Amino acid sequence: MPQIVPGQFPGARPRRMRRDEFSRRLMRETVLTVDDLIQPLFVIEGQGRREAVESMPGVERLTIDELLREGEELARLGVPAVALFPVTAPEAKSLDGAAAYAPDGLAQRAVRALKDAFPQLGVITDVALDPYTSHGQDGIVDADGYVLNDETVAVLVRQALSHAEAGADVVAPSDMMDGRIGALREALESNDFIHTRILAYSAKYASSYYGPFRDAVGSAGALGKGNKYSYQMDPANSDEALREVALDLDEGADMVMIKPGMPYLDIVRRVKEQFAVPTFVYQVSGEYAMQMAAIRNGWLSEAVIAESLLCIKRAGADGILTYFARRVATALRA
């Protein structure tokens, strides 16, 4: 008989606990549930139409009536919330992005329709100007193309108020302007929207993983060779993310978000450990596209989808925006 030294082999045989499903289940730390999922949805003008997004196989842009069908299914599956992304026709885009706050704009109509039909389904709107600007930037630009901070924040406030007016439960500024959370919170409070939650895209990186999204909403063409380095964060940085989160919380954010997901899980962990607030992750379009491409080619098994989401949760996410939400919810309910 070998001598048993506590904590050492053969006293310690970690495989004992992995031997059977019952003990694997008992020691499992993280569980992915339908409660963790938020479905992003692309909305287009028109009736009875769904358009495939080429770089995101399985994802479609929906007219509002089709959006309602999707909402019905998501509500039935128990998905807590959806995040809406309107697609603006080129002729509705302008230098100042004024269509962003039209009371009867596509986003505003989509919110109203969804909240009327499925009051229990949370509706999150994107606060940023890129779908509405002719240059594809998230804000108002000067003659050199530099995105002006304070002028942009003033427009974001109008946009967020129009979303709240339409019934949005959560406004989610994805623009990365300085001081926008404080301005939004003050405007919401002083207009009696005291229940409107703010999900701040606090640590949003200037990432190449957004490519397919920009195709989906049609901002890629407008942006051209432009980039968003003067406001989105440098992928090299991590302390800066903590500073952004601290500022957004001080200014009144209810929830913070890290974006993209998979390559940024160290940031998720640092944010969750340091602030212990509701922390969300956006598994972005490029992460969706690469997994789908590999699955469709037979190079990866479909199991990578649930694994990727589980790992995001393990890193510290309380919830995940993912284009896989409906699919995963369907599987979890089966």
Long-range Cβ contacts of 9-13 (<8 Å, 24+ apart): none
**CB 283, CB 257: distance < 8 Å:** no
Residue 86 sits at φ, ψ, to 5 deg, of -75, 150
Nearer to ligand PBG among residue 132 and residue 193 (C-beta): 132
Sole binder of ligand PBG in the list 193, 210, 231, 264 (CB under 6 A) = 210
225 is catalytic: no
Tell me how far apart the alpha carbons of residues 146 and 108 are, in angstroms, rounded to a whole number: 28
Give yes or no for residue 147 binding ligand PBG (CB under 6 A): no
Binding mask 214-243 for ligand PBG (x = CB under 6 A): x-----------------------------
Of positions 36, 66, 70, 130, contacts ligand PBG by CB under 6 A: 130
Taking alpha carbons only, the member of 92, 104, 106 closest to residue 219 is: 92
The two tokens of residue 251 are 């200014």
Structure tokens at 215: 């195709």
Q: Which stretch binds ligand PBG (CB under 6 A): 23-31, 63-71, 188-196, 207-215?
A: 207-215
Residue whose CB is less far from ligand PBG, 163 or 214:
214
Dist. CA 196–CA 184, nearest whole Å:
10
How many residues line the site for ligand PBG (CB under 6 A)? Answer: 10
> Can residue 162 be called a binding residue for ligand PBG (CB under 6 A)?
no
CA separation for the pair 71, 78 (Å, rounded): 10
Tell me the one-letter amino acid at 150: D
Please tell me the distance from the alpha carbon of residue 111 to that of residue 70, in angstroms, as a whole number: 13
Q: Which of 115, 259, 272, 313 is catalytic?
A: 259
46 CB contacts (<8 Å, ≥6 apart)? 63
Q: Which two tokens stand for residue 239?
A: 């302390």
Burial 275-305 (b: 16+ CB within 10 A, else e): beebbbbbbbbbbbbebbeebeeeebeeeeb
Residue 213 binds ligand PBG (CB under 6 A) = yes
Query: Binding residue per annotation — 244?
Result: yes
- Nearest to ligand PBG of 11, 221 (CB atom): 221
Among 285, 291, 308, 322, binds ligand PBG (CB under 6 A): 285
Q: Which of 174, 196, 291, 308 binds ligand PBG (CB under 6 A)?
A: 174
Task: Give the binding range for ligand PBG (CB under 6 A) out of 45-53, 123-131, 161-169, 190-198.
Answer: 123-131
- For ligand PBG, which stretch binds (CB under 6 A), given 27-35, 42-50, 58-66, 209-217? 209-217
- Taking residue 249's Cβ as centre, other Cβ atoms within 10 Å add up to 17
Closest to ligand PBG by CB, 115 vs 214, is 214
**Smallest distance, ligand PBG to C-beta of residue 16, A:** 42
The CA distance from 165 to 193, in Å, is: 8
Which residues does the annotation place in the binding site? Answer: 244
Which residues does the annotation place in the binding site for Mg(2+)? Answer: 244
Q: Which residues bind ligand PBG (CB under 6 A)?
A: 126, 128, 130, 138, 174, 210, 213-214, 284-285
Catalytic residues: 204, 259
